[in-house]
């Protein structure tokens, strides 16, 4: 039997293909843009400093040198999946210009290996605001008023045919200056168009991958059903509970199955000690919406407005005293 000689191979080391090391993204990466960079066709927007970073992109403070106006610049690398996310976000925000609770866009451009959007400067997100409070939670009146504004925002988004698919307090930001009592919905990199060209609702997929953030995801999302408008509202519901209570009971659980089971077993009375009992009607209304059905937005706002009868609606928001 022939046996090949291995003598000449003894000093040859096998070649192993190692996967390329993934480059840091977002807040973990070095700044995508340098301070002093001028952006825009007419070099109108001056980058001042990096102020925030997310999973994919970075946010910079900038100034419009012609109008002396402070703006924000969202920057993402021109590579998958960042490039696709920014194109999607620019398209959605472009369709919602002039609509309440959506930031204004001033310019969309490309610089080096980055895409960027120049937009209205906003204040802190609601998670950061909550965590900075001594009680680590919002007052009831603030929670309810946030809810009213965000139901209004979601109705506008859904009417335009889009699902947000990542509703959470981190993606809700307070306005600044004269817009301090306005809440804005941000981060549209995970949106999906759920309507066909004729305006009808698309047929749901038999199986959908998990999209969103586990802590705020609806039970439908946990069960891998295709998302509909009501799933954004469920995520808003959990967000409002967290803002009012300071926590959600499944925060410390890690596996999706554990979190889903707790959500299935708990009702409003198990989740909230601070919100008025009338808030439970918000939850019951969501439970009545069929999968891919059309929520009663005006009814949801009405339930929240009824809650305001029991709180001081003239009180200041927690962030009204911020500098």
Residues 6+ apart with CB under 8 A from 141: 308, 311, 312, 313, 315
What is the C-alpha to C-alpha distance for residues 20 and 136, in angstroms, rounded to an integer?
42
Q: Yes or no: say if 51 and 43 are a contact pair by the CB < 8 Å rule.
A: no
What is the C-alpha to C-alpha distance for residues 119 and 99, in angstroms, rounded to an integer?
14
Beta strands (DSSP E) in the chain are 38-39, 45-53, 58-64, 69-77, 105-111, 114-120, 162-163, 172-174, 183-185, 192-193
| Annotation marks residue 166 as catalytic | yes
Chain centre distance of CA 287: 23
Catalytic residue among 17, 128, 166, 257: 166
Q: How many CB atoms lie within 10 A of CB 277?
A: 11
Measured over the CA atoms of residue 205, residue 207, residue 208 and residue 213, the dihedral's sign is: positive
What is the C-alpha to C-alpha distance for residues 215 and 136, in angstroms, rounded to an integer?
18
What is the C-alpha to C-alpha distance for residues 280 and 272, in angstroms, rounded to an integer?
9
Q: Tell me the two tokens of residue 86.
A: 């920014």
Residues 6+ apart with CB under 8 A from 122: 72, 103, 173, 174, 175, 176, 184, 186
Residues 6+ apart with CB under 8 A from 69: 63
Query: Catalytic residues, which ones?
Result: 166
């Amino acid at each position: 039997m022939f046996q090949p000689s291995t003598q000449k191979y003894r000093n040859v080391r096998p070649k192993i293909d190692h996967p390329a090391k993934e480059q840091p993204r977002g807040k973990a990466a070095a700044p995508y843009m340098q301070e002093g960079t001028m952006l825009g066709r007419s070099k109108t927007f001056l980058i001042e400093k990096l102020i925030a970073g997310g999973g994919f992109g970075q946010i910079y403070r900038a100034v419009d040198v012609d109008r002396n106006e402070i703006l924000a610049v969202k920057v993402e690398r021109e590579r998958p999946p960042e490039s696709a996310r920014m194109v999607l976000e620019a398209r959605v925000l472009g369709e919602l210009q002039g609509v309440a609770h959506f930031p204004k866009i001033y310019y969309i451009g490309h610089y080096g290996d980055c895409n960027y959007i120049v937009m209205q400067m906003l204040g802190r997100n609601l998670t950061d605001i909550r965590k900075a409070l001594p009680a680590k939670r919002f007052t009831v009146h603030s929670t309810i008023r946030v809810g009213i504004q965000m139901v209004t925002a979601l109705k506008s988004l859904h009417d335009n045919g889009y699902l947000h698919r990542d509703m959470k307090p981190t993606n809700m930001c307070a306005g600044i200056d004269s817009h301090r009592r306005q809440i804005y919905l941000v981060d549209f990199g995970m949106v999906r168009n759920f309507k066909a060209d004729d305006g009808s609702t698309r047929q749901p997929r038999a199986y959908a991958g998990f999209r969103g953030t586990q802590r705020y995801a609806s039970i439908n999302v946990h069960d891998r059903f295709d998302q509909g408008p009501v799933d954004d509202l469920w995520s808003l519901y959990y967000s409002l509970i967290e803002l009012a209570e300071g926590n959600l009971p499944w925060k410390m659980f890690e596996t999706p199955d554990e979190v889903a089971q707790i959500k299935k077993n708990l009702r409003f009375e198990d989740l909230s000690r601070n919100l008025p009992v009338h808030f439970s009607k918000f939850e019951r209304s969501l439970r009545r919406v069929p999968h891919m059905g059309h929520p009663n937005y005006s009814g949801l706002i009405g339930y929240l407005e009824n809650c305001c009868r029991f709180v001081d609606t003239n009180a200041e928001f927690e962030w009204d005293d911020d500098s």
